[in-house]
């Protein structure tokens, strides 16, 4: 059995047939079929049910395909380990963040990281929690900054900092210059533009309002943080987002609350028991000291051990 057999096997499984898989692999269909048959002969089992109109894995095939995926992920991690440069004179860091962190955190982090490690190429992705977990699992991401609510036991979750959400408004809102703490009864009277319920941020906001026995007047729902910020800047409605987003440069004002705003824990995520490049290890160390980034960075770091390779 060769590595080629495993790649061909996964191509057939992912494309649902030999024709599309052969096109994707740039080989002929007879060649691909022959290679899969060789693999089946060496294993002594049929990996695909060829009797149906759509090619599907057999039970044995499905189990073997899952193992093959893990093998290829580990081999790719090994390949990257061989090419890693410990002095950080070159390398790549594949980083992901959820949208609300991307809105205020990516700038300070990139500024700090590139100042220290100018020769490291950064690949930055804005992804949902589900896509981040999938990317870490299949080794297409090195590290991510997201929430600590991971579901996969294969992902390491290192506490980074505690984030506070605040009420913010734009120049057209009556509270734009207000510094008076807003009590719960007045908060309940505001009209809100919020992220759609699919966002983890919205879940946190809804839980906060429920704890305050408030039914918010949500007049606008948006599925993009950048779009939401544009709405707030040009409409007399309020929103709730991480406090560092409300800056003068964005034309937003944070309205103080009479009580504590909702908080949530942010974490650095990476795949467990995986090779971690020097570039990703240094990034992880930097995230643990986010409070030193100054304005725009989180002000309350969580207590956590410095991550190692």
Give me the residue spans of the domains in the chain.
Answer: 3-82, 91-161+264-293, 163-263
Q: What is the pTM of this model?
A: 0.68
Residue 301 pLDDT exceeds 60 = no
Q: Which two tokens stand for residue 4?
A: 């080629």
| % of the chain at pLDDT higher than 70 | 90
Structure tokens at 105: 């955190």
| Architecture category of domain 91-161+264-293 in CATH | 3-Layer(aba) Sandwich (3.40)
CA 89 to CA 150: how far, in whole Å?
33
- Joined together, the tokens standing for residue 149 give 């609510």
Q: How many CB atoms lie within 10 A of CB 246?
A: 22
> What CATH number labels 163-263?
3.40.190.290
Common-topology check for domains 91-161+264-293 and 163-263: yes
Q: At 19, is the pLDDT very low, low, confident or very high (cuts 50, 70, 90)?
A: confident
Which CATH topology does 3-82 take? Arc Repressor Mutant, subunit A (1.10.10)
pLDDT digits (tens, 9 = 90+) for 129-174: 999 999 998 889 999 999 888 888 889 999 988 889 999 999 999 9
Q: Where are the beta strands (DSSP E) in 152-275?
A: 155-169, 191-195, 217-222, 238-242, 253-255, 263-271
Q: What is the tens place of the pLDDT at every residue in 56-85?
A: 888 888 888 888 887 877 777 667 666 666
**CA–CA separation, 257 vs 205, rounded Å?**
14
- Backbone phi, then psi, for 73, in 5-degree steps? -65, -45
Mean pLDDT of 243-265: 90
In 75-92, which positions are buried (b, 16+ CB within 10 angstroms) versus exposed (e)?
Answer: eebeebeeebeeebeebe
- Compute the average pLDDT of residues 243-255: 90
Crossing angle of helices 59-83/3-15, nearest 10°?
120
Arithmetic mean of pLDDT over the chain: 86
């Amino acid at each position: 059995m060769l590595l080629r057999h495993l790649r061909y096997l996964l191509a057939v499984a992912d494309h649902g047939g030999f024709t599309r898989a052969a096109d994707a692999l740039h080989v002929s269909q007879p060649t691909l079929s022959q290679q899969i048959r060789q693999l089946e002969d060496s294993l002594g089992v049929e990996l695909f049910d060829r009797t149906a109109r759509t090619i599907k894995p057999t039970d044995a095939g499905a189990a073997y395909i899952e193992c093959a995926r893990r093998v290829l992920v580990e081999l790719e991690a090994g390949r990257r380990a061989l090419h890693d440069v410990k002095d950080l004179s070159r390398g790549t860091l594949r980083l992901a963040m959820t949208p609300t962190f991307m809105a205020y955190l990516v700038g300070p982090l990139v500024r700090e990281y590139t100042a220290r490690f100018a020769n490291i190429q950064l690949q930055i992705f804005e992804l949902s929690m589900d896509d981040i977990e999938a990317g870490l699992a299949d080794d297409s991401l090195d590290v991510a900054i997201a929430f600590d609510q991971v579901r996969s036991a294969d992902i390491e979750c290192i506490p980074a900092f505690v984030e506070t959400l605040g009420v913010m408004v734009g120049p057209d809102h009556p509270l734009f210059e207000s510094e008076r703490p807003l009590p719960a009864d007045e908060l309940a009277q505001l009209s809100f533009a919020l992220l759609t319920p699919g966002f983890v941020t919205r879940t946190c906001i809804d839980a906060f309002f429920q704890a305050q026995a408030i039914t918010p007047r949500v007049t606008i729902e948006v599925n993009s943080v950048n779009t939401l910020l544009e709405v707030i800047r040009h409409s007399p409605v309020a929103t709730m987002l991480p406090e560092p987003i409300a800056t003068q440069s964005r034309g937003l004002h944070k309205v103080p609350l009479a009580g504590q705003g909702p908080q949530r824990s942010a974490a650095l995520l990476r795949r467990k028991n995986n090779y971690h490049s020097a570039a990703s290890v240094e990034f992880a160390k930097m995230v643990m000291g986010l409070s030193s980034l100054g304005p725009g960075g989180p002000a309350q770091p969580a207590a956590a051990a410095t991550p190692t390779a």
